[in-house]
A and B are shown apart, each in its own frame.
Chain A
Amino acid sequence: MNDKQIIASRIAMELKDGDLVNLGIGIPTLVANYVPEDKEIIFQSENGIIGLGADKGEDCSIVNAGGMKASICKGGAFIDSATSFTFIRGGHIDITVLGALEVDQEGSIASWIIPGKLVPGMGGAMDLVTGAKRVIIAMRHTNKGKVKILKKCRLPLTAFKQANLIVTEMCVMEVKKDGLHLLEVNPAYTIEEVMNATDAELIIDEVKPMKGIENENNA
């Protein structure tokens, strides 16, 4: 498994039967590949699908939120953007999985702008992290060695104190009221290596081996 697969496979274990889930572009999209067959997860796509499915090569006009061809599952619905954000902002999405440029130990997220360099815009991300019941950040632990998990985000925020769980190729961390807890570490790394790659203060009680790494299901 490569880094992206490790992250996606671990996050898939967080999804519960019947959850309505929005996956962002990039690593988050891969999470759908690791959902076990006995779980029914309904994916929402913010451009207007309840019941998003993978592209089946059919001749249609269905796209996902990245503008790529997609399909709709049986029992699904096409919706307009206002209804889509009624789901998102109104608290009807169980889990949203997104990438980030930076996250901090309070759960603040930066993902939409590097001033003077890159300005892609926030798209639906600000609404998703504000409104979803649970926010999971899926990202590489560092940006080619540069720390991304900080005491305080430096880049302009996407949202203030909204992340619940952070999953990287190195570890799983949970944002709680008292700070950022290190829950699981990939056995390929030591706790010291994780700490060296992290600027945030990690609260370390009982650390378990990171789950999902051996799971080659559907990979």
Chain B
Amino acid sequence: MHKFIDGEIFKTLLKDGMNIHVGGFLTNGSPETLIDLVVESGVKDLTIICNDGGYEGNGVGKMINHGQVKKLIASHIGTNPDVGRLMNEEKLIVELVPQGTLVERIRAYGAGLGGILTPTGLNTLVQEGKDVIQVKGKDYLLEEALGADMALIGGAIADEYGNLKYKETMRNFNPMMATAAEIVVVEPVKVVEVIDPENVITPHPFVDYILGGEQDER
């Protein structure tokens, strides 16, 4: 299948200043090989959107450690001391977003919506600079949709057509991110011949590339 590429081709897709969705939850379901390739490529000024800051030297923490990340949009950063340190040194901009708001902003972008209305964050710092909209007498925050130039997807079991399902808890943010970026690249944990159509979570039109050159001849 033409979707299967190797690491060298993947690196040609990367550019300075890209916005990149990275799947995974505390590195469970994180595309570690793709992240290593981003580090190898040396691209910089990235905006990374991920549930969390990963760990020191693990998950998105690897790109942060190498000074490639200008801005991190995440729901929590407590597991990676590098993030707090770089933020205090003003070398990294961090935007903290409630987890449910973050995933729904991504889902909204993939679904062609401009944003979402959520009660989460009302009367907190999260509300600052945002419109409050009343619907049927209840207040909601307007949170804008969040897309990216590229999505790096992990934790997937792919088939030869590019359909995906996900291994255990590795699903997390991955299916939403796979709908919300210009270029979607998957690092599967396993490739099978075909996934039962009833079990496909991410249908193949969402998927642009799959890392795994050995499948090329099939």
Interface residues of A (CB under 8 A from B): 45-49, 60-63, 65-67, 70, 72, 78-82, 84-85, 88-89, 112-113, 119-127, 130-131, 156-160
Contact = CB atoms under 8 A, between A and B. Distances in A.
B215 interface: no
Interface string B93-117: 0101011110110010000000000
B174 A119 contact: no
A124 B25 CA distance: 12
Query: Secondary structure of the B side of the interface?
Result: mixed
Given A124-B75, A126-B121, A130-B119, A79 B171 contact: yes
Contacts of A122: 75-76, 96, 98-99, 126
A126 B98 contact: yes
Interface in B175-209: 175-176, 189, 201
Interface of B: 25-29, 51-52, 74-79, 84, 87, 94, 96, 98-101, 103-104, 107, 118-126, 155, 166-176, 189, 201
Query: Secondary structure of the A side of the interface?
Result: loop
Closest 5 CB pairs of A and B: A120-B78, A121-B76, A67-B26, A85-B100, A127-B100
A156 B125 contact: yes
Contact of A157 (B28, B101, B123, B189): B123
B155 A81 contact: no
Nearest to A81: B103
B120 to A, nearest CB: 5
B22 to A, nearest CB: 13
